[in-house]
Structure 1
Amino acid sequence: MACMPQDTAVVVLFGWLGARPKYLQKYSQQIRVLKAQHGQQPMIYQCFSDAGFIYMTKVLQAAMRLAETPPEDQSEALSEGKLRDQLQPSGIIFDSAPAVLNSVIATRGLISSTLNEPVLGLQERHPLLYRVVLQMAEMLLGLPYVQRHIQQIWQFWEVRAPLCRHLYLYSDADAIIDDSSVEDFAGAQARRGVQVKMHKWKGSGHCEHSRMYPQKYSEQLAAFSDLVLRKP
């Protein structure tokens, strides 16, 4: 997770599995420049892939627990209230996410990030490794504790997640997160009352939209930032 200082723009990034800091800094800088043009400092979360989505969800759940736990004294109440407010986003950007985590998603994501190779053709290039990792992922994801953890994440987004604006940046060529999974999730959030914006890229791979469409990607961030910063 990367966060900008409070005296500039507040940007929180939840990276994909294996994301390097230099890549996240690029996204952080894009939003920071856009937000520096305004006099407000609402927080925008941007998550990448299922790994970033899960990490972001845990932060939001922690903020919710702070709101529900009675503090022991007034000073603690002020401290926890300030932290809770700082954790609440005014907008969320989903890049190549989310989908319900399964063994295929986990296997492709893990091998691709570990070997730093494109997802397409992984199974053909590394058949033995793919089978071993797939079996391990099936075993791990089948554990009751892991199943409960996954269910809690999705239940949170069904009824308790913040109702701030959402932007979904996804692709018809993502070999890890299917476009229909993103669209189903976005539709469910819209039915909860969330204001949803979506942009579906053509041909870009998983978390590759900014690289393939740098200008268009920046324009999407700019338009969304303007919506988040706009006074009611």
Structure 2
Amino acid sequence: MANDEMDYNIVFPDEATSETHWQGTKEPVVILLGWAGCRDKHLTKYSSIYNEQGCVTIRYTAPLKTVFISESFGYKELRRTALKLLEILFDYEVEHSPIFFHIFSNGGFMLYRYIVELLHKDKQFSSLCVIGALVDSAPGSGNVRGAVRALAATLGPKISPVLKYLLLALFAVTVFLLRIVLYPLTKYVHKNHYDAVQERPPAWPHFFLYSRADQVIRPRDVRLFADTLKFKGVPVDSYDFVSSVHVSHFREYPEQYTCKCRNFLIACMKDTDGTFMRKRHRVRDQ
């Protein structure tokens, strides 16, 4: 479904499927945050992983202008989007269910950054119980070449070559100046997503799926980020698909990818004794 303010889709499972998988507990709500330029038909394939497990799923992809323009210039439009996305949980009365995030590329992670900040600071969301986050092909930082490649792929072949190269050149210059050359100063006004979450990470478990063949997000950025969270006491796991390119791990390895997503979700849903949570506690930053 969609509303007038933001374009999202929500799917509820049937009771029989939910009961089969979650044994009388509240089924998880999985929020999927798409990569820049992601179409809903692509995100639907990922949400089916969780729909078949009896989960509620919410699919949303931030507009291109907020990812490539607003964030580059330090405008925090995505913060308002994050607020609206969390309010959807209350609109559909699923705010007491376990919340699980599935995040794609920097486009999804930029939005996740503001969600994390709201969960840290806003009392309106103090009742929410986040159980984990799976991160696909993110996060990356300070990679102008990767950012230009991402924008080029998003623009596609329909745009005229002259306009395309002009836009890419302007974008590259902007990112290089604001996010690399001037970043030691601009970070005091607007930190990038990578540094913001790394400095004050949430406490819930994270699972990073990446590939050394990714030419948009450098694998060393993902590994460094994961190591930093682990050092700060966040439960972290990661997996290198080795040969699949950016956000294509599911396409290249569908069975393996699906298995890893479901196993991680199930692990997040279990208490330390191995049974599904009967009583859930809020997961707050330490």
TM-score bin (small chain): 0.7 to 0.9
Distance 1:50 1:152 in 2: 8
**What residue number does 1:85 align with?**
127
2:248 corresponding residue in structure 1:
208
| Cα contact 1:50–1:101 (8 A) shared by 2 | no
State how 1:28-67 maps to structure 2 within 5 Å.
28-34=47-53, 36=55, 41-67=97-123
Q: Is 1:169 matched up with 2:188?
A: no
Q: Distance in 2 between matches of 1:116 and 1:210?
A: 24
Instruction: Answer 1 or 2: which has greater helix percent.
Output: 1
Structure 1 segments of 4+ aligned residues over 3 angstroms from their partners: 1-9, 126-133, 139-148
User: Which residues of 2 match residues 50-129 of structure 1 at below 5 A?
Assistant: 50-67=106-123, 80=124, 83-86=125-128, 88-115=129-156
Superposed displacement of residue 43, structure 1? 1.2
Paired with 2:157 and 2:102, the residues of 1 have a C-alpha distance of 22
Q: Deviations over 1:33-84 (max 9, x none)?
A: 3355xxx9421111111111111011111222213xxxxxxxxxxxx2xx33
Tell me how far 1:146 sits from its aligned partner.
6.6
Equivalent position to 1:192, from 232, 244, 248: 232
Q: Note if 1:17 corresponds to 2:73.
A: no
Q: Look up the SS of the partner of 1:148 in the other structure.
A: coil
Q: Secondary structure at the match of 1:11?
A: strand
Q: Separation in 1 of the partners of 2:54 and 2:268? A: 10
* CA RMSD in angstroms, aligned pairs only: 2.8
Could you say what secondary structure the match of 1:43 adopts? strand
Unaligned 5+ segments in structure 1 are 68-79, 118-125
Q: How many residues align?
A: 205
Consecutive unaligned residues in structure 2, runs of 5 or more: 1-7, 14-25, 56-95, 159-163, 273-286
| Structure 1 position 137 matched with structure 2 position 198 | no
1:136 is displaced (CA, Å) by 3.6
Question: In 2, Cα distance between the equivalents of 1:178 and 1:42?
Answer: 31
- 2:259 corresponds in structure 1 to 219
Please give the TM-score of this superposition, normalised by the length of structure 2. 0.63
TM-score (norm. length: structure 1) = 0.76
Residue 10 of structure 1: how far off its partner (Å): 0.5
Q: Is the 8 A contact 2:209 2:240 kept in 1?
A: yes
Cα deviation, residue 99, structure 1:
1.4
Give percent identity, aligned residues only. Answer: 26
